[in-house]
Amino acid sequence: MEAFVGDVALVKPQVAFFEAYGSAGYAVLERTISVVRAAGTLVIADAKRGDIGSTMAAYSQAWLGEDAPLASDAVTVSPYLGFGALEPAVELATEHGRGLFVLARTSNPEGGQLQGAQLDAADLSGVSAGKGVSVAQSIVDAAVAQNRDGRDTVGLVVGATRGHGLDLSEFSGPILAPGLGAQGATVADLAEIFRDSRELLLPNTSRDVLRHGPSVSALREAAERVRDDVENGLA
């Protein structure tokens, strides 16, 4: 992480690669998060956790709790059990001024069928009422409703690799947009895909930077180049 600290606004560790090594991997992740945050760089733990009730509360505590060993600035969460089941994470993030990013429309082709399925219009209320929306749009709408408190605690994950088909016009929170680089999206694509919602767009590239490692200076140069490309492309 030495290569990035101070030069980039945020780091998004993929929790799975640490979890594969069990407690030893998590000890490394704890130190990584701590070093990066101490340097003033934001950490979004890419964990895609999702559960219900007291179990969801425990995941929230793990990633957003005040004194938790893995405490990060934000965590990614997965809504298969319903946006409402994520409530313990929303509450804890709000309380501690942290954030969460809920998967809406992901960048992989296998996700399209489920995320594009249509909700029963009779079930819908609030922002989605009467619209006959897709699963992904229902997540966007639930995030819009949650963020009406003005804190924008809830961000979204919307892939940059394909037409997302979402109405993001009412969404004011941050958007995490994986898919830049190795997954195929270019900086020019970003401007097109997120036309109406560029204010808090966080385009995200991993393999395209990491293949330049392990030299610290090469990694830093690659990260700076992507950052400059994105800033120019969206200017």
Catalytic residues: 48
Binding of its own copies by 55 (CB under 8 A): yes
Answer for which of 9, 39, 58, 129 binds its own copies (CB under 8 A) is 58
Give the pairing type, strands 154-158 and 175-178.
parallel
User: Which of the stretches 2-10, 27-35, 91-99, 219-227 binds its own copies when contact is defined by CB under 8 A?
Assistant: 27-35
Phi, psi of 120 (to 5 degrees): -70, 120
C-alpha to C-alpha distance for 128 and 109, rounded to whole angstroms = 25
Binding of its own copies by 12 (CB under 8 A): no
Site string for its own copies, 117-136 (x = CB under 8 A): xxxx--xx---------xx-
CB 46 within 8 Å of CB 63 = no
Indicate the SS3 state at residue 149. Answer: helix
Site string for its own copies, 129-168 (x = CB under 8 A): -----xx--x------------------------------
Binding of its own copies by 80 (CB under 8 A): yes
* Nearest residue to 112 (alpha-carbon basis) of 60, 163, 75: 163
Record the tokens describing residue 185, joined without a space: 């999206």
Binding of its own copies by 112 (CB under 8 A): yes
Secondary structure letter of residue 107 according to DSSP: S
User: Which of the stretches 53-61, 93-101, 168-176, 194-202 binds its own copies when contact is defined by CB under 8 A?
Assistant: 53-61
